Chain A
Amino acid sequence: MTVWQIILLASILVLATKMLGYLVPPRVLETPTASRTAELMTVALLSALIVVQTIGAGQGIVIDARLPALAVAAGLFALRVPFILVIIAAAATAAGLRALGWG
């Protein structure tokens, strides 16, 4: 697959999911199992993506400057610092550690 094919196919699938929702009668959501599991699915995917982004390196694990950067981000989110500032602080942490020759 080319990058363009991947982008277009994924975009169409995500957009189609939104459209499908408007064809479903709202009653479906009233089953608590459906809404609960959907919300937990989002949590599980995001959590797994954090792991892959932070210690993943191809098919394998590498501990580098990304891990302390994530720890800084967690601390700042806990302090309710705005999203964009946390992202900048995380990037700056990794950049700083690498400038010092680590990670």
Chain B
Amino acid sequence: MAAEAERRAAWRASLAVGLAVSAYGVSFGALAVASGLDIWQACVLSLVMFSGGSQFALIGVLATGGTAAGPAAIAGATLLGLRNGLYAIRVSPIIGPGVARRALAAHLTIDESTAVATAQPTLAAQRVGFWATGAIIYIGWNLMTLLGAVLGDLLGDVRQFGLDAAAGAAFLGLVWPRLRALQPVAVAVGAAVVATALLPVLPQGVPVLVAALVALVVGIPNLLGARARSEEGSA
């Protein structure tokens, strides 16, 4: 009985998170088209890359730099996707064995599926949380990307509708929940200062990559970090 209740709680969490996240696939589709992609290119990004932060990063660099900024766009999207690799390491024991199952799980390994899965109390509920959240977002994100891309195509000049300003707000929404301690806030401010200073002097896309070094400078020596915080929370 208790196990059944836990599985149902995992389903509820998956549904709530999944529907909310899917909804902003619309903004990705519309912004992708505004950045110069066609509808199919926007859809392929959501189908294959399937990682919101990396997708927004790629179209953001392409929007200001065009195809000349291609290498920087690819590097930015890949760096931002590195955290998915860490999520994969963390949820790997939840998924269990089987090549096909693990390959499918890899594709669905994103912020939300990892967060919902690791928040559940039992292995069975963690499995429900991972697969339900991943599947709901995969379907919803792709449908909404298509819808947003079609709408963006119809709208024409998106600056008039403020869609270029929506991209900055979208990134702010992705970083906001991560700013709960002094260390990440310091890194966020430092990276913003570095990016601002380098914007006028380096080619498009490169300031973002240099600003990422702030994370290494602060993170490796653990400057401003909590000292000897208990590590069991990450297990």
Contact = CB atoms under 8 A, between A and B. Distances in A.
B169 interface: yes
A7 to B, nearest CB: 5
A38 B195 contact: no
A10 B74 contact: yes
Contacts, number: 316
Interface in B34-73: 36-37, 41, 44-45, 48-51, 53-54, 56-58, 60-62, 64-65, 67, 70-71, 73
Residue from B45, B56, B208, B222 having most chain A Cβ neighbours under 10 A = B208
A71 B84 CA distance: 29
Interface of chain A: mostly helix, strand, loop or mixed: helix
B208 A29 contact: no
A29 B91 CA distance: 11
B199 A60 contact: yes
Nearest to A9: B74
A100 interface: no
Contacts of B168: 50, 53-54, 66, 69-70, 73, 90
B89 interface: yes
Interface in A1-40: 1-15, 17-22, 24-26, 28-30, 32-40
A18 B195 contact: no
Q: Top 9 closest A-B pairs, CB basis? A: A21-B88, A94-B162, A37-B219, A48-B211, A94-B165, A69-B165, A90-B169, A95-B162, A91-B162
24 contacts: A6-B58, A6-B73, A7-B37, A15-B48, A17-B81, A20-B85, A24-B89, A29-B89, A35-B234, A36-B225, A44-B190, A45-B208, A49-B171, A50-B175, A51-B195, A52-B207, A53-B168, A56-B64, A59-B199, A77-B176, A83-B24, A84-B20, A92-B162, A98-B160
Given A42-B53, A53-B168, 10 more contacts: A7-B45, A18-B106, A26-B93, A36-B219, A37-B216, A40-B218, A41-B215, A54-B168, A94-B164, A98-B160
Interface of A: 1-15, 17-22, 24-26, 28-30, 32-61, 65-66, 69-70, 73-74, 77, 82-84, 86-88, 90-96, 98
